[in-house]
Chains A and B, each alone.
Chain A
Amino acid sequence: MNHDAYDDNYIRSILNGVKSIAMVGASPVNVRPSYFAFKYLAQRGYDMIPVNPGHVGKSLLGKPFVASLSDIGHPVDMIDIFRNSSHIMPVVDEALTLSPPPKVIWMQLGARDDAAAEKAEAAGLKVVMNRCPKIEYGRLSSEISWMGVNSRTLSSKRAPIPTQGMRLSLNRMSVGGGATTASDRAAKNKSEPT
């Protein structure tokens, strides 16, 4: 698995396949990226569970916070980790003790832990690192192009008018996806000290 550049089909199959997402590190503060990613995914119809021991007793958009993954009490499809790279491993370790385990471990934009990814993949989970599911969903559904972002997809079909709670089709034709000269270089630049 190349974690520097994901194929659109890989991301698409994850976003089309999962129904419930536990977000570790979700914040009730409405200007934090985790808050608005949570809200966006909830509006797209995902069953969202906020996980944050500091906020137990409160709820996020009507969903009660739980302290840890083991407190969820029912199976979840995906764990979206909104924590720094150094805090990933314990979350993955805990996720792997769940029965049944989740299908996907997703680490947010800026977060990457290759050892944790390897462990999860060895247990049969899919892993995405250093990406935002909100951005990827917006890109693959063409919604994000309102901000001039290269969705790397095409479609000659009339776009649906987005409404609340609607799951947009992610099945547009891929233009780039996967590795590009630029993405390879971006990955290389990050791993090289200056």
Chain B
Amino acid sequence: MTDRLPGFSTLAVHAGAQPDPTTGARVTPIYQTTSFVFNDADHAASLFGLQAFGNIYTRIGNPTTAVLEERIAALEGGTAALAVASGHAAQVVVLQQLLMPGDEFIAARKLYGGSINQFTHAFKSFGWNVAWADPDDIGSFERAVTPRTKAIFIESIANPAGSITDIEGIAEVARRAGVPLIVDNTLATPYLIRPIDHGADIVVHSLTKFLGGHGNSLGGIIVDGGTFDWSKDNKYPMLNEPRPEYHGIRIQETFGNFAFAIACRVLGLRDLGPAISPFNAFMILTGIETLPLRMQKHCENAKAVAEFLAGHSAVASVNYAGLASDKYNKLARKYAPKGAGAVFTFSLRGGYDAGVNLVSNLKLFSHLANVGDTRSLVIHPASTTHSQLDDAAKVKSGAAPDVVRLSIGIEDKEDLIADLEQALSA
């Protein structure tokens, strides 16, 4: 045995995948089945009682999906992971393990607009109350902590403006408050930032974006860092109290440092139901094999486009943390030295109308509500993803009316710049 440990790109290709035991197929097969036969009644009973590892039913787990889960757990440096139907489903499942009605969590104000909606409106009907804090002011997290606070939620690179969050500073607040830090690492991917190394306890992703990377499949994932002690102060009954549906098992006591991932699977996914399809898991796994290559190209192109825009007379300002002049450049150099991602915003001197015109004049960029595709994408957040926010909240979350968001793809950067140039002068 050697002591040499494989690097990130090797894990991106191999982690979790092994030639199929029955056929020898080298690529992970798509186990497109709802259910799996039991060996005998005793085997069935031990699977249902969480006494043995194995496949039961695809809502609870699937061998194709399990490869995706182990791969991302390995890339993030976590102990285990659980894949679900979408990024939003991942957020519901995580918070269901942590909050009871009447509890609170603190969330950064700069988030994907859909997450702001989910936290403000959908979660209110579960009795989960969100307190907003400013990721540029760590003290605002500290001040938001109350005895009912159960978690802190931030994005590593925040949608839409691509700003970088000081994960370590906020992790310190979470540690003092005795609550886990959840980081949505969608826009960074573990190739650029590994939040667990910076103090996060739980990582969530929309796999729909750069991890899948080709704009063809929805998916989400929860990664357990294995770092949080759930037994302390009995704050988290889902993990700590005997579970009546599993013969009184305590999840934390039975599963140790991957108990959170198991709770998400056997209490969250099993009962709420947002399972990912094995076909989507397969598509996303295939995407991940080229994640390091794609992220390098995404970042290189994004930097070139941001530099071009920063020098253009029609552009009022560019928010890209990869630019030396950017407010977040110092944080980018600390947390994302390989590149500041490929989603960023800029604003036009001509305001709202110029933004709308630009979007309609572009020929190569696609106007749609997604990010992290091989194709370059453009959207006007104020009229789409962030349209449900009032004007003040739009500005606070980085989606003011004159702002345009780009997600830079892996095309030739000269073609992307030429397209923007013609659209800006049209």
Contacts and interface: CB of A to CB of B under 8 A. Distances in A.
Interface residues on B, range: 35 or more
A56 interface: no
Contacts of A109: 253-256
B311 interface: no
B247 interface: yes
A3 to B, nearest CB: 14
B410 interface: no
B253 A148 contact: no
A146 B19 contact: no
Contacts of B257: 183, 186
B70 A156 contact: no
A156 B175 CA distance: 40
A145 B66 contact: yes
B21 A158 contact: yes
A144 B14 CA distance: 16
Contacts of B67: 145
Contact of A161 (B21, B74, B175, B261): B21
A130 B258 CA distance: 13
A142 B15 CA distance: 11
A161 B6 contact: no
A44 B51 CA distance: 15
Given A189-B175, A189-B229, A159 B19 contact: yes
Nearest to B74: A150
B247 to A, nearest CB: 4
B80 A146 contact: no
Contact of B254 (A33, A146, A157, A161): A33
A109 B231 CA distance: 13
Interface string B171-206: 000011010000000000000000011010000000
Interface string B65-78: 11101100110011
Given A31-B247, A173-B6, A149 B227 contact: no
B18 interface: yes
A116 B197 CA distance: 32
B41 interface: no
A97 B256 CA distance: 31
A171 B14 contact: no
B14 A150 contact: no
A110 B256 contact: yes
Contacts of A143: 53
A157 B46 CA distance: 29
A155 interface: yes
A33 B250 CA distance: 10
Contact of A150 (B1, B73, B227, B253): B73
Interface string B372-395: 000000000000000000000000
Contacts of B233: 194
Contacts of B61: 146-148
A63 interface: no
Interface string A115-151: 0000000000000001110010010001111111111
A142 B14 CA distance: 13
B178 A158 contact: no
B77 A181 contact: yes
Contacts of A182: 77-79, 196-197, 225-227
B309 interface: no
Nearest to B80: A149
Given A36-B49, A145-B16, 18 more contacts: A31-B49, A31-B247, A36-B46, A109-B255, A144-B53, A146-B53, A149-B73, A156-B14, A158-B19, A175-B6, A182-B79, A182-B225, A182-B226, A186-B257, A189-B175, A189-B227, A194-B176, A194-B178
Interface of A: 9, 30-31, 33, 35-36, 39-40, 109-110, 130-132, 135, 138, 142-152, 154-161, 171, 173-177, 180-183, 185-186, 189-190, 194
Q: Which 6 A-B pairs have the closest CB atoms?
A: A148-B69, A31-B247, A36-B51, A150-B73, A158-B19, A149-B80
26 contacts: A31-B246, A39-B46, A39-B51, A40-B52, A135-B255, A142-B18, A147-B61, A147-B80, A148-B61, A148-B66, A148-B83, A149-B79, A149-B261, A150-B74, A154-B10, A155-B18, A156-B19, A161-B22, A171-B1, A175-B5, A182-B77, A185-B199, A185-B227, A186-B227, A186-B257, A189-B228
